[in-house]
Amino acid sequence: MKRRILGGTGISVSEYALGAMMFGAVANRDHDDSVRIIHRALDAGINFLDTADIYSAGESEEIVGKALKGRREDVVLATKAHGSMGDDDNHSGNSRRWITREIENSLRRLGTDYIDLYQIHRPDPTTDVDETLSVLSDLVRAGKVLAVGSSTFPAEQIVEAQWVSERRGHVRFRTEQPPYSILARSVEAAVLPTAQKYGMGVLSWGPLSAGWLSGRYTKASDIDLAGGGRAALEQFKFDPSRPENARKLEAVGELSKLASDAGLSLPHLAIAFVRAHPAITSVIIGPRTMEQLEDLLAGSEVELSADVLDRIDEIVPPGTDLNRADSYYVPPALADKALRRR
């Protein structure tokens, strides 16, 4: 497994990061099996693990903590805070009050006394970024966190955070974690160039676009909107009767043929595409089963030719999200009509 340096921190991380969102109640409920998957990933050369407090309400962090017993020093461990962890409004967000409390909860669940990369999971319009960076700086000085990053931040908020860090003397975000896949390329326009400008590492998530590029969907009837999976929970991203999703299905068909002509599986093509962007430090893979992990590991050395990359650009133009919902962030001014009216 090849390695790259994470955002000028000097920390060496594998080109694949193991995402732990699928471990716990949301997907794989078997703790022992999840631990085996983590150990297999580590044995294969992956040294970068990414989780979050909100994944299965803390259960994912607990599973990762079990897996890292006796192996903690060999792993670059990343987690996140922001999402709601209870009914109280103060049990979420990017405030000093919440982060000071939640870092202790994450350390306890993970069974460690420090986190290599602590990320703010989403922007918080109710909290001044100066407040957030101030508490993160205190955590770094206390040795509880070694580096900090953002996740799914728009380019303008990444820039604002960098400026605030410089002017106020805070630690700065060293990484950004955006969604990025062949079907969701909007980050190529501003987020990835901005990360490069500020020397930030990028650990991208969603390379298989919520399963669209897994090879599972080849026709509209493959999409089950009545079941209990992600397609049922997020129908606006899957319903093939919606024009944007019909376009995704059409693109998947073209990409499947391209992958076959190149002698690759569709997932291997999809992940190799993300790895090919010069801004990307590490691609987060999120297997639920050992079989899925083994398949993804088999494609870790795939390199795409210029001809294949050019053809991908023809199928999905650079900077394009075929479904805008796949950006996973809606600016407050668009989500709340009161912010657009006097």
Q: Annotated catalytic sites, by residue?
A: 55
Could you count the other beta carbons within 10 Å of the beta carbon of residue 73?
7
Strand partners, 284: 17
Main-chain dihedrals φ then ψ at residue 126, nearest 5 degrees: -90, -10
What spatial distance separates the first Cα and last Cα of the chain, rounded to whole Å? Answer: 55
- Identify residue 118 by its one-letter amino acid code: Y
Strands (E), the chain: 3-5, 12-14, 16-19, 48-50, 76-81, 115-120, 145-151, 173-177, 201-204, 282-285
Close Cβ partners of 58 (under 8 Å, ≥ 6 residues apart): 85, 105, 109
In whole angstroms, give the CA distance from residue 179 to residue 195: 14
